[in-house]
Amino acid sequence: MTITFTAQVAGAYEHPEDECMSAGVSETEAGDGMMLTFQCCTYEPDDQDIALGWDTYCVVTADQGTAYGAVQELTLRGNVLRVVFDVDALEALGLPEPEMEAVLDVDEQSLGQLRQGLRHILAYGRADARPKVLEL
């Protein structure tokens, strides 16, 4: 079964004060309802990050469920974002199913920002945690 929702907000942002970059989708401007945020640091992972397993991107869900390197596959085709998560990450993410699909009701500029942000974020850190990107 797939979790499906319509996202009204999509984009990517750099947060210099937090030394991170984020890209994501949300049902509403206020962040209510379903959402997915992908994040990575803007600096190379240090020894502590490596020791804690934080030397890769992370995914955050609406209820602040967080997992590092949890995406097995990701596709952004047209206006549909499809993500398949590692089943071992479902509990941490607070998700009942490993597959999520967001239909993006956003403009082309937002889609472009999302694509660019995801390319950068999913390539961050250790190679063995990078997902299979089927299309971006």
Structural domain boundaries in the chain: 2-135
Distance CA 129, CA 116 (A): 19
Token digits for 66?
Answer: 């967080």
pLDDT averaged over the chain? 91
Q: Which residue has the tokens 């990450």?
A: 89
Closest CA to 67 of 77, 75, 78, 59: 59
Q: Which residue type, as a one-letter code, is found at position 66?
A: T
Question: What is this structure's pTM?
Answer: 0.91
Residues 115-134 have pLDDT tens digits of: 999 999 999 988 888 898 88
